[in-house]
């Protein structure tokens, strides 16, 4: 919400809007209130509700209302606070028509993120994203992209401001505001993500260094298994770039620990 507040400050500083910007400060306030992904009312994840269901549980109905509203928009930006340390990331859903992909990529470039995370929900590593609102909107012909930020406690004021300015650049790209800054990048690194999860519960200690190159077989962290604190070293199963990692934390079996990116620039250049 700090990013939204800063974005509103910028909007209020200009004389005229040549269009309409709808701002939803929180799509899922019940879950946000208790700081969890799932709603305490039905224990469902709104970000996996897709088009929703007007006759389902609370989260299903909320998803249906949200989808029905957003599907009437020309473009949608969905801001997420990611669970791990991450550079400012724009997510490119490799779905929908060529026109939708081209429109989405142009808007992402105007936002100028650090990296682009390419998701193809038809692939095994991304199958969990088939049920997201972003995929549902893309399939309905609404261009959109999610933004993944690092956790608020780890963000500084400059990062908040940069993301808010990026949103202004998106608005300028669509002609809603009159000026566009020079922060757009012609070439933004794009990756598919390989998720590495915990095989044991315990104390997670990452080998830090966001956006550094890692090699297959390289140590990327240590998990001290509970209750005996046995030290288990985690090695990278592939070579790539460390695009996400969880900070020191007590984790359970199956918790996401690391995201390693493999370059897929060819997918992006196909729609430039």
Q: What is the pLDDT of residues 127-175, one digit of tens each?
A: 777 778 898 999 999 999 999 999 888 889 999 999 999 999 999 999 9
Most confident of 28-32, 151-155, 255-259: 255-259
Instruction: Report the candidate in 236, 244, 255 with the shortest Cα–Cα distance to residue 208.
Output: 244
Give the pLDDT mean for 27-31.
Answer: 83
State how far the Cα of 223 lies from the Cα of 228, in Å rounded to an integer. 12
Domain assignment present for residue 54? The answer is no
Query: What's the distance, CA 125 to chain centroid?
Result: 16
Statement to judge: residues 84 and 162 lie in one domain: yes
210 within domain boundaries: yes
Tokens 């315990």 correspond to what residue?
202
Report the percent of the chain where pLDDT is more than 90.
68
The pLDDT of residue 243 is 97
Total tally of structural domains belonging to the chain: 2
Choose the final residue of a domain: 172, 188, 204: 188
Residue 101 lies in a domain: yes
Domain containing 95 equals 2-22+73-188
What is the structure's pLDDT at 181? 62
Residue 220 counted as domain residue? yes
Residue 36 lies in a domain: no
Query: Would you say residue 256 lies in a domain?
Result: yes
Q: 201 and 180, same structural domain?
A: no
**For a pLDDT cut of 70, what percent of the chain falls above it?**
95
Output the pLDDT for position 247.
94
In a domain, 251, yes or no: yes
Name the band, by pLDDT with cuts 50, 70 and 90, for residue 42. confident
Average pLDDT rounded to a whole number, residues 29-37: 80
Are residues 147 and 239 located together in one domain of the fold? Answer: no
31: confidence class by pLDDT, cuts 50, 70, 90: confident
Residues 7 and 122 in one domain: yes
Is the domain of 115 the same as that of 147?
yes
- What does R_g of the chain's alpha carbons equal in angstroms? 19
| Banded pLDDT at 182 (limits 50, 70, 90) | low
Tokens of 27: 């799509």
Q: Is residue 248's pLDDT more than 70?
A: yes
Task: Express each pLDDT in 183-230 by its tens digit.
Answer: 555 689 999 999 999 999 999 999 989 999 999 999 999 999 999 999
On whether both 80 and 213 belong to a single domain, the answer is no
Q: Among 167, 188, 209, identify where a domain stops.
A: 188
Same structural domain for residues 199 and 260?
Answer: yes
Which of the listed residues 161, 188, 215 is the one where a domain comes to its end?
A: 188
The verdict on residue 212 lying in a domain is yes
Do 112 and 164 fall within a single domain? yes
Residues in the chain: 272
What is the DSSP code (8-state) at residue 176? Answer: S
> In terms of domains, do 113 and 8 share one?
yes
Query: Does 202 lie in the same domain as 259?
Result: yes
Strand partners, 115: 89
pLDDT at 80 over 60: yes
Partners of residue 85 on adjacent β-strands: 245
Phi–psi pair at 134, nearest 5 degrees:
-60, -45
What pTM was estimated for this model as a whole? 0.91
Range among 43-47, 120-124, 262-266 with highest mean pLDDT value: 262-266
Same domain, residue pair 97 and 183: yes
CA 148, CA 137: separation in Å to the nearest integer? 18
CATH of residue 225's domain is 2.40.50.100
* Burial of 62 (C-beta count, 10 Å sphere; 0-12/13-18/19+): buried
Closest Cα partner for 165 from 186, 187, 180, 149?
Answer: 180
């Amino acid at each position: 919400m700090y990013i939204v507040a800063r974005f509103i400050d910028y909007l209020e500083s200009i004389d005229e809007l040549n269009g309409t910007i709808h701002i939803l400060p929180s799509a899922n306030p019940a879950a946000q209130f208790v700081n969890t992904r799932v709603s305490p009312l039905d224990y469902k994840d709104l970000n996996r509700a897709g088009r929703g269901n007007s006759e389902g549980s609370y989260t299903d109905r909320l998803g249906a209302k949200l989808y029905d509203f957003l599907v009437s928009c020309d473009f949608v930006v969905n801001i997420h606070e990611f669970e791990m340390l991450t550079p400012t990331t724009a997510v490119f859903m490799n779905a929908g028509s060529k026109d939708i992909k081209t429109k989405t990529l142009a808007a992402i470039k105007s936002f100028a993120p650090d990296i682009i995370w390419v998701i193809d929900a038809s692939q095994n590593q991304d199958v969990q994203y088939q049920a997201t609102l972003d995929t549902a909107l893309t399939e309905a012909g609404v261009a959109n992209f999610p933004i993944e930020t690092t956790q608020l406690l780890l963000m500084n004021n400059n990062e908040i401001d940069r993301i808010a300015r990026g949103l202004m650049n998106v608005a300028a790209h669509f002609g809603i505001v009159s000026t566009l800054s020079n922060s757009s990048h012609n070439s933004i690194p794009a990756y598919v993500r390989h998720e590495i999860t915990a095989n044991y519960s315990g104390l997670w200690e990452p080998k830090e260094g966001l956006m550094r190159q890692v090699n297959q077989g390289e140590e990327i962290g240590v998990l001290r298994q509970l209750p005996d604190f046995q030290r288990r070293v985690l090695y990278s199963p592939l070579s790539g770039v460390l695009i996400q990692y969880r900070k020191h934390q007590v984790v359970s079996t199956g918790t996401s620990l690391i995201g390693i990116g493999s370059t897929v620039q060819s997918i992006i250049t196909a729609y430039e």
